[in-house]
Structure 1
Amino acid sequence: MPWIDACAADDIEAEEAKRFDHGGRTFAVFRNDADEYFCTDGLCTHESIHLADGLVMGNTVECPKHASVFDFTTGDVETPPACENLKTYKTKVENGRVMIEI
């Protein structure tokens, strides 16, 4: 699978997310408070709301519409109403850029 350049690492503050669109798909790139980067599918599995607009706390993101909570390190649902986990993607920082393996 190819590594895709998503954004500059400095574009995402700690405990924030950034939307990334590629190949007709939407992704969310997260930076936790330990300065680690993660990537998941960008839409909530409940009603397809953009997760990059949600509240990021530690290693979780809360969907801005119905408050489903996901662990973005694993993709697991922590709080319903969503019941389907998010797909996660490998990330790395290379030359100051966040790269995602899609």
Structure 2
Amino acid sequence: MPWIPACSLDSIESEGVARFDHAGRTYAVYRSASDEVFCTDGLCTHEAIHLSDGMVMDYEIECPKHSGVFDIRTGEAKRLPACVNLRTYPARLDGGMVVIDIG
């Protein structure tokens, strides 16, 4: 499957996250403080809350509902109540756009 444009880099603040919906699924697209980009499933594995409403800091996303924490680079669940890792997807920049491979 080809790379899919998710959003422009400028639409995500530094250490921020954006929601991206595609083909009936929700993804979270992240921008680090050094403009690296990452992509994970968009719903917390604890209670299916949108991670795009959470807070990003130092390569971690905190779920807005129960404060579970995941590593945005690996999807690893780092703090309870989250205990199931997020699936991650390759992400890269292409001419100012964040593109993801969800294949």
Report TM bin, short chain.
over 0.9
Report the TM-score when normalising by structure 2. 0.97
> What does 1:69-84 correspond to in 2, within 5 Å?
69-84=69-84
CA deviation after TM superposition for structure 1 residue 2, in Å: 2.0
Structure 2: distance between partners of 1:66 and 1:58 = 19
What percentage of residue pairs aligned between the two structures are identical?
59
Structure 1: distance between partners of 2:64 and 2:79 = 13
**Equivalent residue, structure 1, for 2:51:** 51
Structure 1: distance between partners of 2:13 and 2:88 = 20
CA deviation after TM superposition for structure 1 residue 34, in Å: 1.4
CA deviation after TM superposition for structure 1 residue 66, in Å: 0.3
> What does 1:10-89 correspond to in 2, within 5 Å?
10-89=10-89
Once the two structures are superposed, residues 25-80 of structure 1 have per-residue CA deviations (whole angstroms, 9 ceiling, x without a partner) of 00000011111000000000000000010011010000000000000100000101
Structure 1: distance between partners of 2:86 and 2:60 = 12
Give the partner amino acid of 2:63. Answer: C
Runs (4+) off by over 4 Å: none
Give the partner amino acid of 2:75. Answer: G
Structure 2: distance between partners of 1:15 and 1:97 = 16
Number of equivalenced pairs: 102
**Long gaps (5+) in structure 1:** none
